[in-house]
Amino acid sequence: MAQPGDGLTEEERGHKIVIDGIKAIYRNVVRPIEEATKFENFTSNTMTDDEFDAAPMLLLVGPYSVGKTSFIRYILGREFPGQRVGPEPTTDRFMAVMYGENDKTIPGNALTVAPGSPFGGLKFFGNNFLTRFEGSIVNAPVLEKLTLVDTPGVLAGEKQRLNRNYDFDQVTRWFAERVDLIILLFDPYKLDISDELASVILILKGNENKVRCVLNKADQIGVQQLMRVYGALMWSLGKVFDTPEVLRVYIGSFWDQPPRNPDTAPLLQSEMEDLLNDLRELPRESAINKVNDLVKRIRLLRAHAYVLHELRDMMPKMMGMAKKQRQLLDPQAMADVFRTVYHKRHLPPGDFPDIRKFVRVATDMNFSEFPRVDGSRLKNGRLMEELDRAVDADIPRLMESLPGMTGAGANKMLKNARDAEASAAADEEGYK
């Protein structure tokens, strides 16, 4: 643990205390429950210490040719190894742009096993994905405190499905769960949200608080057209993002030339500076973001564990186990199980998994072997008690180490996050 005289500022010291604390909570409490309940099969694979220690990450998502690569060059102030720019789809891979003294590219397989790499969990997606994942190591000061992740441009129709022989949706979800900010880029001539892009946006569900939109290449149009384009984009986003808050949309032209239209240049320059300021704040907010993501993960895990417990209890002791399991695998029957757990355990509806995905994964498992929350695999309930204590006491106490964060402030922040997500999900799931 950092101590006075260790060369760290008060803010850096508080950040380290929080990160070290949540790493210990995950390692000693959360991960054992995840392993006992096969959480990674249903939701998300286990996390590593390197993921907690990683610099803040920014994920770029959008159709092809909206300027994702130019956006990265704008942030870096220079070109970077492995960049590909063109009017047609040029980025067919995920690329992590990271800091290093010597410019180079690192293949995906090597990057997942590199010391200190936060990308070790990606090895579970197999070689088909890893051949389309690489690291770009760049000697750019901004990358000392920020990692940028570029994604393949969203394609239309069958190309989106056929040209990628790996699970694009699951990989995107893996990154969305772990990054600090998600930039969704559009340009004035690609405002329509296609079915494919809407599908990608759906993958971001549960991480809407991280999403910011950028209307790029906005210097190509005049003031009146810009107003119409901005309104059309907000209307399209409102149809896809089912959130009570309006998404923040930045307007700019993120490339190596100043805005070309003098009528809109002052607005664009102001908007672009606002976005850069938000990116500069990411390192300061990283500890809170990681806490928020861990608390969200704990809530999902808690509901998951109680659902498995209920399914185990509903199985007959001797005869008829196979028949009973088939009955429970019916989506409507499983919805009834979720509803029972919801009422019995007083859990927010938004903490429950997607029923269809849960049923699909559970089909290959034996319900009679699911752990009970008061069983030996979960230390007769002690691990679940420690899980509750982590959210209610341990994590808020850790957050007091951050400058300006009191115990009441930490509890209020976590409660607001819980209430907002639970309220939004309650209407959608209908467990009440």
Residue 26 shares a structural domain with residue 64: no
Residue 245 shares a structural domain with residue 382: no
Give the integer Cα–Cα distance in Å for 177 and 44: 9
In tens, the pLDDT along 88-135 reads 555 578 999 999 999 999 999 999 999 999 999 999 999 999 999 999
Residue 15 shares a structural domain with residue 94: no
Query: Considering the domain boundaries, does residue 272 fall inside one?
Result: no
> CB of 179 within 8 A of CB of 214?
no
| Full domain range(s) for residue 243 | 56-263
Query: Considering the domain boundaries, does residue 5 fall inside one?
Result: no
> Does residue 2 have a pLDDT over 50?
no
Mean pLDDT of 26-44: 95
Please give the residue that has the higher pLDDT: either 60 or 200: 60
Query: Considering the domain boundaries, does residue 339 fall inside one?
Result: yes
Mean pLDDT of 285-300: 94
> CB of 39 within 8 A of CB of 377?
no
Residue 300 shares a structural domain with residue 395: yes
Residue 93 shares a structural domain with residue 19: no
73-82, 104-113, 386-395, 421-430: least confidently modelled range: 421-430
> Does residue 265 have a pLDDT over 50?
yes
In tens, the pLDDT along 158-179 reads 555 556 788 888 899 999 999 9
- Measured between alpha carbons, how far is residue 422 from residues 304, 358, 416 in Å? 16, 19, 10
**Strand, coil or helix: 182:** strand
Residue 251 shares a structural domain with residue 349: no
Query: Considering the domain boundaries, does residue 319 fall inside one?
Result: yes
Query: Considering the domain boundaries, does residue 411 fall inside one?
Result: yes
Give the integer Cα–Cα distance in Å for 362 and 41: 9
Q: Which residue, chain included where needed, has tokens 């007959």?
A: 316
Residue 32 shares a structural domain with residue 135: no
Query: Considering the domain boundaries, does residue 357 fall inside one?
Result: yes
Please give the residue that has the higher pLDDT: either 209 or 428: 209
Mean pLDDT of 405-429: 51
DSSP classification of residue 188: T
In tens, the pLDDT along 10-26 reads 888 999 999 999 999 99
CATH number at residue 385: 1.10.268.20
Select from 263, 282, 304 the last residue of a domain: 263
Query: What would the two tokens of residue 37 be?
Result: 């309940």
* 127: alpha, beta or left? (left if phi > 0; alpha if psi -120 to 50): alpha
CATH number at residue 60: 3.40.50.300
Query: Considering the domain boundaries, does residue 156 fall inside one?
Result: yes
Residue 109 shares a structural domain with residue 233: yes
With cut-offs at 50, 70 and 90, classify the pLDDT of residue 196: confident
Residue 247 shares a structural domain with residue 302: no
Give the β-pairing of 181-186 and 57-61: parallel
What does the pLDDT read at residue 183?
A: 96
Number of domains the chain is built from: 2
Cα Dmax for the chain: 79
